[in-house]
């Protein structure tokens, strides 16, 4: 796991394996949030969120910005400056329709 998800889990001091186990037991997104609140260290959540909301694509090296844009194709026609907005747009593209089981 890389990127924003890895950053979040590291900040919460939750391993990927622990998180995957928690998600597997969850029925809803709210269940995942509750699991993270119980099993993670949320002490620095406000600072973490503020830093992520301020992070700008323009503030990274050009090759990193190009990689980010290649990994998040929903950005193509859009000019987005903040990483968090790009991830939100990409999530909308990836999860616009429910996954059928």
pLDDT in tens, 55-68: 887 787 888 778 77
Residues 78 and 67 in one domain: yes
pLDDT in tens, 10-25: 999 999 999 999 999 9
Residue that is last in its domain, among 36, 53, 70? 53
pLDDT at 98: 60
Residues 59 and 19 in one domain: no
Residues 24 and 64 in one domain: no
Residues 6 and 49 in one domain: yes
Residues 34 and 61 in one domain: no
pLDDT at 30: 93
pLDDT at 76: 63
Q: What is the DSSP string of 32-86?
A: HHHHHHHHS--TTHHHHHHHHHH-BGGGS-HHHHHHHHHH-GGGTT----BHHHH
Domain that holds residue 73: 55-101
Which pair of tokens denotes residue 36? 């993270």
Q: How confident is the model at residue 40 (pLDDT cuts 50, 70, 90)?
A: very high
Residues 11 and 39 in one domain: yes
Q: How confident is the model at residue 47 (pLDDT cuts 50, 70, 90)?
A: very high
Q: Which residues of 72-95 are buried (b: 16+ CB within 10 A; e: fewer)?
A: bebbeeeebebbeebbeebeeeee
Residues 35 and 61 in one domain: no
**How many domains is the chain partitioned into structurally?**
2
């Amino acid at each position: 796991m890389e990127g924003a998800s890895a950053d979040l889990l590291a900040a919460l001091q939750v391993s990927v394996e622990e998180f995957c186990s928690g998600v597997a037991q969850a029925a809803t997104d709210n269940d995942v949030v509750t699991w993270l609140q119980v099993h993670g260290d949320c002490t620095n959540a406000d600072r973490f969120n503020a830093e992520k909301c301020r992070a700008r694509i323009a503030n990274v090296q050009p090759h990193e910005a190009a990689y980010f844009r290649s990994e998040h194709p929903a950005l193509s026609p859009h000019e987005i400056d903040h990483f968090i907005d790009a991830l939100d747009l990409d999530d909308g593209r990836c999860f616009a329709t429910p996954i059928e089981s």
